[in-house]
Amino acid sequence: MLLLALCLSQSISTEAGVVADSITKLVLALIGEFLIGAMIGFGVHAAFAALSFAGQFLDFQIGLNAAAAFDLNAQAQSPLLSTFFGLFGGLIFLLLDAHHDMLRGLAYSLTILPLNHFSLPDDAGPFVTAFGLVFTYGLVLAGPVVLGLMLLDIAIAVIARTMPQISIYFVTLPLKIFVGVLLLALTMSQFTPVLERLFAAAFGYWLPASTR
């Protein structure tokens, strides 16, 4: 982080007037820079939250929510597919060179918002849009598998009505897991275009038009 700060500092104009002549101004400048970093990180966090939402949704539908792995980063139990989606999204994030877009966005933020010149945005629309990405793209990623499992549930309901003597829950639980994982494997080939659009939309409200 110190090396990144040193590299970005080379783009700061010497006439930007960034010197704070009092403790109060220095604290306000630090708070402003913290808020800028939070706004930049919000879009990236929303993109990965969409992946987590899709994974948790599928864990619930398939029946894997009872089996959870311990996440060392969060120090908590994490559903299996939610963890998998997060790791897969991080891999695609690097393969798409989205981390380069993030670095360009950080450098661009020093141009449009110089140090000690923070002001609250007038339009909250981009932040609402980024929040909506969590549900929109989460449902897009999980949609095909959920639709297939819904058709399977309908078939299971018909069997349960025609043969009530069968303990249908214990019979179909392994079947739902098998069908859900199979459908997920078949649809993962279409994830990359969706994730590309997801990361592009996450960066869209703070990257310059020339880098989108």
What pLDDT, on the 0 to 100 scale, is given for residue 211?
A: 42
Mean pLDDT of the 75-90 span = 79
pLDDT grade for 75, boundaries at 50, 70 and 90: low
CB 210 within 8 A of CB 104: no
pTM over 0.85: no
pLDDT grade for 198, boundaries at 50, 70 and 90: confident
Task: Say if residue 197's pLDDT is above 80.
Answer: yes
The structural domains of the chain, with segments of one domain joined by +, span 21-211
Residue 211 vs residue 96, higher pLDDT: 96
pLDDT grade for 18, boundaries at 50, 70 and 90: low
What pLDDT, on the 0 to 100 scale, is given for residue 123?
A: 59
Mean pLDDT of the 165-172 span = 75
CB 91 within 8 A of CB 74: no
Cα(99)–Cα(84) distance, rounded to whole angstroms? 20
Residue 5 vs residue 62, higher pLDDT: 62
65: which 2 tokens?
């929510």
What pLDDT, on the 0 to 100 scale, is given for residue 13?
A: 58
Give whole-number Cα distances, 165 to 51, 154, 173, in Å. Answer: 40, 18, 17
pLDDT grade for 205, boundaries at 50, 70 and 90: low
Mean pLDDT of the 139-157 span = 88
